[in-house]
């Protein structure tokens, strides 16, 4: 769907396969890339992504840093933490992570970005609520003006992708 000139899509599958300017890693504040999406990014793109990220850390929730994307088709990985090393997250942390990643995308001048479901893996946050929070922040960001032309909300879970679609239809 289009919203104020920005193409918003959902994607069922592996985020590391997407050809976008940046993919987002729902990081921890130390920027270690262990399991979930972070682990998939590291396996597909190479350990140099984690090595570069860790050098830029630790960062706070509400901040984001970019690294190269190694062997991925993307130009950047934007690391935006949703949790500390206690692996606990909540709505506010997900909201801050989404906001920080979008801000970093505009700072980098990129036009296309892919997000995984923030905080739903290791963080255990409910998938439907994460989708709603992410789409709310995306809408706010677009309303305030953005350089982005395309945003993809991606997940390997069909259920999560359906929650993304529902949130987009209800909020945009």
Q: Per-residue pLDDT tens for 35-49? A: 889 999 999 999 999
87 has pLDDT over 90: no
Q: What is the pTM of this model?
A: 0.97
Residue 35 confidence (pLDDT): 85
Q: Per-residue confidence at 27, pLDDT binned at 50, 70, 90?
A: very high
Reported as type and span, the H/E element at residue 52 is helix 47-56
CA proximity to 128, closest of 163, 82, 171: 163
Burial environment of residue 1 by CB neighbours within 10 A (0 to 12, 13 to 18, 19 or more): exposed
Domain 2-171: CATH class, spelled out: alpha beta
Residue 85 confidence (pLDDT): 85
102 has pLDDT over 90: yes
Residue 93 confidence (pLDDT): 98
12 has pLDDT over 90: yes
Residue 122 confidence (pLDDT): 85
Domain residue spans of the chain = 2-171
State how beta strands 76-83 and 65-68 pair.
antiparallel
* Residue appearing with tokens 């919203």: 3
Instruction: State CA 21 to chain mean position distance.
Output: 12
* Mean pLDDT value of segment 52-74: 98
């Amino acid at each position: 769907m289009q919203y104020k000139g920005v193409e918003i899509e959902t994607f069922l599958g592996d985020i590391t396969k997407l050809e976008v300017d940046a993919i987002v890693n729902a990081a921890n504040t130390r920027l270690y890339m262990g399991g979930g999406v972070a682990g998939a990014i590291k396996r597909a793109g190479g350990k140099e992504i984690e090595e570069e990220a860790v050098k830029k850390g630790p960062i706070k929730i509400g901040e984001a840093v970019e690294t190269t994307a190694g062997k991925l088709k993307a130009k950047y990985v934007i690391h935006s933490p949703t949790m500390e090393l206690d692996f606990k997250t909540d709505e506010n942390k997900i909201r801050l992570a989404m906001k920080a990643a979008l801000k970093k995308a505009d700072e980098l001048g990129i036009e296309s970005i892919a997000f995984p479901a923030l905080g739903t893996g290791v963080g255990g946050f409910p998938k439907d609520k994460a989708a709603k929070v992410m789409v709310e922040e995306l809408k706010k960001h677009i309303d305030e003006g953005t350089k982005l032309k395309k945003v993809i909300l991606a997940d390997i879970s069909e259920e999560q992708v359906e929650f993304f679609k529902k949130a987009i239809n209800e909020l945009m």
